[in-house]
Amino acid sequence: MDQLSGGEMLIRALHDEGVNIIFGYPGGAVLHIYDAIFNQDKVEHILVRHEQAATHAADGYARSTGKPGVVLVTSGPGATNAITGIATAYMDSIPMVVISGQVESRLIGSDGFQETDMVGVSRPIVKHSFMVRRPEDIPLIVKKAFHIATTGRPGPVVIDVPKDVTDPKDKFPYQYPDTVKMRSYAVPDKGHSGQIKKAVEALLKAKRPMIYAGGGVIQGNGSELLTTLTRKLGFPITNTLMGLGAYPASDKQFLGMLGMHGTYEANMAMHYCDVLLAIGARFDDRVTNSDISKFCPDATILHVDIDPASISKTVIVDVPIVGSVVSVLEEMLSQLESSKQDVDKPSLEVWWNQIGQWREKDSLHINKCEDGVTIKPQEVVKAVYEITKGDAFVSSDVGQHQMFAAQYYGFDKPRRWINSGGLGTMGFGLPAAMGVQFAHPDAVSVCITGEGSFQMNLQELATCMQYQLPIKVICLNNRALGMVKQWQDMQYGGRYSHSTYADSLPDFTKLAEAYGHVGIKIDKVADLHSKLQEAFALKDKLVFVDVWVDPDEHVYPMAIKGGSMKDMILSKTERT
Amino acid sequence: MRHIISVLMENEPGALSRVVGLFSQRNYNIDSLTVAPTEDRSLSRLTLTTHGDDRRIEQITKHLNKIVDVVKLVDLTEGAHIERELMLIKVKATGAQRAEIKRTTDVFRGQIVDLTSNVFSIQLTGKSDKLDSFIAALGDSIVLEVARTGVSGISRGEKVLSL
């Protein structure tokens, strides 16, 4: 048995857990661990420029692969800088393990230099956390941390490591456990057969069915089964912002995204359906609209989720099914197979005709600018979709550009759309795109961003240079905090309180060049396709494309506050 | 409605703060809380009283169950149960009042556990409303100090909360 120090055990345990890349930033409390990293070549460490970016990069890695993202930061400010990224992962149920340094055990509680109670500070935004008290506990703690982070409803786990625990002078026998069992942590697996039977019966009787699938389907690797089930039933389906790609967007049964900025047909079908099958979705307020009592008034609601606490949290459901998406979908399919009954085809035809009429509204129609010069932000996303043939990994930041990306880049595959849906973290896009590029070196990693969000983590341009990441940053530059401005237009009489800064924007092309990248500016619609093509043709380079778009554009459709899902603003002049 | 929830959890640092944190984080109420190790030193038993409608209580128990340190829990108020709270109360006791306080204490089956020429310290055990009634019977004007443990409870009959 090898004799290893705490720091060495930590890195060896990561390797034994199958981790080959971690994102981090060194500092005093983790220097022993960094020395252990220096002395091996199994686990690659990526040096970011800010700890928040380390968490987002690990997050992008996790979302695009399904494997846990791993972060290493120092104590105090290193740990607190990681907090936003941990909260982002927590809200979207992303598997992540964050190792934070801590001051020496004897100093804990003494307000030592760079001391923060990381376990305390992170408590509300982690699935679980550990404080390592003895070096010999490290292998088991790492095993437990990965087990908890990746099973059930995934989430971030923090391991806080006091410096003395990693002292290279103290060696201990190292053995990594094969399995771990915790009496206080059980993972729900198969859904209850009786409940699934009830759900299948409801689906077979449905006259106006609707499937509403969320991020849980992607996290639970259930996309293929969901697609099989949906096609077998012939039912309409919508995906949440987090669920985009769970069902192919180009399929005729797909009605688009639902919710606050969902399509007219998806939201109408939700409102008028009589049986709603919710899978891996949590009835978020951005989906249901603000008045829960008006949500799906006629529907029998079937809810599949791995987290019992998600069930009947906001909307009371009729048939709850707790279990992994894959196990439940498999059993649903086998029960459907063996059922003698078929779906109510005549009613379904009437329902599809109704949906067809809603589709004619063409709620995502782009009205080009009359001057023939100004670029609409939606046109940019469409052009990126065409040039990348819909096959890129697309990360986004938060705001109007995020919604345009979600609406106009039709994702046909899971794990391609990487965005901060729950927490809504500006500054997520670029570091997440880095994580994606590390995980998929040969794929096209696009970051659709805005000039507001981008400035929240632009220091990562340096990381992209250091590791030669050929990310394509597409900045929908509207010279304002677009979504804030949109709300101020709609609800605050156009009083733009602190949402504009046109006079103080940097020249982004020069900024990109200063970091050694390529910058391209586009401000005429006639140049849009050719210049974007030029950018994507530079396969080995990070290209920052600064696209000046119509600053007055709003995101539509938009839910009317206090209404039901059928209440939408469709354009500056039209509402339902 | 008032509920008494008993939780068996790992007797580890940080476990209690996770439970208490959940309540403030999700805007649930804690009316009382008591916690101590059990006969198995690796486990703590935490008993809390809270109130809310059925949906809220369901969410509370589900979220408690999600905490990794929580091993098992029971809502005692769902079935027949015994609940007790202990109170130590210090009251002003002079002159003719002394006999009156002694009588009241006897009626409530309390015990005077310490005294000086001016003060009685009384111990009383029972349901929370009995403790409330005792304080009311003594009257606010003589009460100097109250220390209550919060509610602890156990199911009636053969039902057991253990691993």
A184 and B14 within 8 Å at the Cβ level: the answer is no
d(CA A290, CA A507): 40
- Residue range(s) defining the domain that contains residue A308: 193-360
B71 and A308 within 8 Å at the Cβ level: the answer is no
E strand or H helix that includes residue A302:
strand A300-305
Q: Considering the domain boundaries, does residue A31 fall inside one?
A: yes
Q: How confident is the model at residue A1 (pLDDT cuts 50, 70, 90)?
A: confident
Q: Considering the domain boundaries, does residue A563 fall inside one?
A: no
Give the end of a domain, one of A327, A360, A393. A360
Is residue B54 within 8 angstroms of chain A, CB to CB? no
d(CA A572, CA A554): 8
Q: Considering the domain boundaries, does residue B158 fall inside one?
A: no
d(CA A64, CA A219): 10
Distances (CA, A) of A383 to A368, A379, A428: 14, 6, 23
Q: Which residue has the higher pLDDT, A207 or A292?
A: A207
Counting the structural domains of chain A, the total is 3
A308 and B13 within 8 Å at the Cβ level: the answer is no
Q: Does residue A305 carry a pLDDT above 80?
A: yes
Give yes or no for a contact between A67 and A61, defined as CB atoms under 8 angstroms apart: yes
Query: Chain B: residue nearest A309 by CA?
Result: B62
Q: Considering the domain boundaries, does residue B27 fall inside one?
A: yes
pLDDT digits (tens, 9 = 90+) for A253-293: 999 999 999 999 999 999 999 999 999 999 999 999 878 89
- Residue range(s) defining the domain that contains residue B122: 82-152
Domain co-membership, B109 together with B142: yes
Give yes or no for a contact between A531 and A523, defined as CB atoms under 8 angstroms apart: no
Domain co-membership, A394 together with A523: yes
Q: Does residue B57 carry a pLDDT above 90?
A: yes
Tell me the backbone φ, ψ of residue A104, rounded to 5 degrees. Answer: -55, 145
Mean pLDDT on B49-65: 95
**pLDDT on residue A345:** 97
E strand or H helix that includes residue A102:
strand A96-102
**CATH number, domain at A166?**
3.40.50.970
Q: What tokens does A573 get?
A: 């002049």
pLDDT digits (tens, 9 = 90+) for A120-157: 999 999 999 999 999 999 999 999 999 999 999 999 99
Domain co-membership, A400 together with A540: yes
**pLDDT on residue A291:** 83
DSSP for B31-44, please give it.
SEEEEEE-SSTTEE
Q: Which residues of B touch A123 (CB under 8 A)?
A: 14, 17-18, 21
Counting the structural domains of chain B, the total is 2
d(CA A45, CA A36): 11
Q: Which residues of B touch A119 (CB under 8 A)?
A: 14
Domain co-membership, A306 together with A159: no
d(CA B9, CA B72): 7
Tell me the backbone φ, ψ of residue B128, rounded to 5 degrees. Answer: -60, -35
A184 and B70 within 8 Å at the Cβ level: the answer is yes
pLDDT more than 70, % of chain A = 100
Q: How confident is the model at residue A299 (pLDDT cuts 50, 70, 90)?
A: very high
Q: What tokens does A26 get?
A: 């060194």
Q: Considering the domain boundaries, does residue B30 fall inside one?
A: yes
**CATH number, domain at A346?**
3.40.50.1220
A309 and B10 within 8 Å at the Cβ level: the answer is no
Domain co-membership, A41 together with A153: yes
* Nearest neighbour of A123 by CB, restricted to B18, B66, B70: B18
pLDDT digits (tens, 9 = 90+) for A509-520: 999 999 999 999
Domain co-membership, A228 together with A141: no
**pLDDT on residue A188:** 81
pLDDT digits (tens, 9 = 90+) for A66-121: 999 999 999 999 999 999 999 999 999 999 999 999 999 999 999 999 999 999 99
Compute and round to an integer the Cα radius of gyration of chain B: 18
Q: Considering the domain boundaries, does residue B163 fall inside one?
A: no
Q: What is the mean pLDDT of chain A?
A: 97
A184 and B62 within 8 Å at the Cβ level: the answer is no
d(CA A160, CA A182): 20
Residue of A184, A187, A317 to mutate, testing the B interface (most B Cβ within 10 Å of its Cβ): A184
Q: What tokens does A346 get?
A: 């005549």
Give yes or no for a contact between B60 and B50, defined as CB atoms under 8 angstroms apart: yes
Tell me the backbone φ, ψ of residue A547, rounded to 5 degrees. Answer: -100, 115
Is residue B12 within 8 angstroms of chain A, CB to CB? no
**pLDDT on residue B20:** 95
Q: Give Cβ neighbours of residue A487 (< 8 Å, ≥ 6 apart).
A: none
Give the end of a domain, one of B50, B79, B108. B79
Is residue B71 within 8 angstroms of chain A, CB to CB? yes
Three-class SS of A227-255: HHHHHHHCCCEEECCCCCCCCCCCCCCEE
> So which residues of A are the catalytic ones?
51, 113-114, 163, 483
pLDDT digits (tens, 9 = 90+) for B27-45: 999 999 999 999 999 999 9
Domain co-membership, B112 together with B65: no
Is residue B53 within 8 angstroms of chain A, CB to CB? no
Mean pLDDT on A489-503: 97
* Nearest neighbour of B59 by CB, restricted to A148, A185, A313: A313
Q: How confident is the model at residue A308 (pLDDT cuts 50, 70, 90)?
A: very high
Mean pLDDT on B142-161: 96
* Alpha-carbon gap: B84 to the closest alpha carbon of chain A (Å): 27
**Residue spans of beta strands (DSSP E) within A334-461:** 393-396, 417-418, 445-450
Domain co-membership, A24 together with A167: yes
ipTM of predicted complex: 0.93
Residue of B7, B44, B66 to mutate, testing the A interface (most A Cβ within 10 Å of its Cβ): B66
pLDDT digits (tens, 9 = 90+) for B95-125: 999 999 999 999 999 999 999 999 999 999 9
Q: Which residues of A touch B55 (CB under 8 A)?
A: 312, 316
d(CA A232, CA A245): 18
Residue of B9, B24, B68, B71 to mutate, testing the A interface (most A Cβ within 10 Å of its Cβ): B68
d(CA A37, CA A105): 22
B71 and A183 within 8 Å at the Cβ level: the answer is yes
Q: Exposed (0-12), middle (13-18) or buried (19+): which is B82, by Cβ within 10 Å?
A: exposed
Give the end of a domain, one of B79, B97, B125. B79
Domain co-membership, B131 together with B90: yes
Mean pLDDT on A204-219: 98
Q: Which residues of A touch B (CB under 8 A)?
A: 119-120, 123-124, 127-129, 131, 148, 182-185, 307-309, 312-313, 316
Q: Considering the domain boundaries, does residue B34 fall inside one?
A: yes
pLDDT digits (tens, 9 = 90+) for A322-380: 999 999 999 999 999 999 999 999 999 999 999 999 999 999 999 999 999 999 999 99
Q: How confident is the model at residue A231 (pLDDT cuts 50, 70, 90)?
A: very high
Q: Which residues of B touch A185 (CB under 8 A)?
A: 68
Give yes or no for a contact between A108 and A102, defined as CB atoms under 8 angstroms apart: yes
Q: Considering the domain boundaries, does residue A573 fall inside one?
A: no
**CATH number, domain at B16?**
3.30.70.260
Domain co-membership, A126 together with A215: no
* Alpha-carbon gap: B49 to the closest alpha carbon of chain A (Å): 20
**pLDDT on residue A289:** 87
Q: Which residues of A touch B9 (CB under 8 A)?
A: 184
DSSP for A310-351, please give it.
GTTSSS--SEEEES-HHHHHHHHHHHHHH-S----HHHHHHH
d(CA A217, CA A282): 12
d(CA A492, CA A56): 33
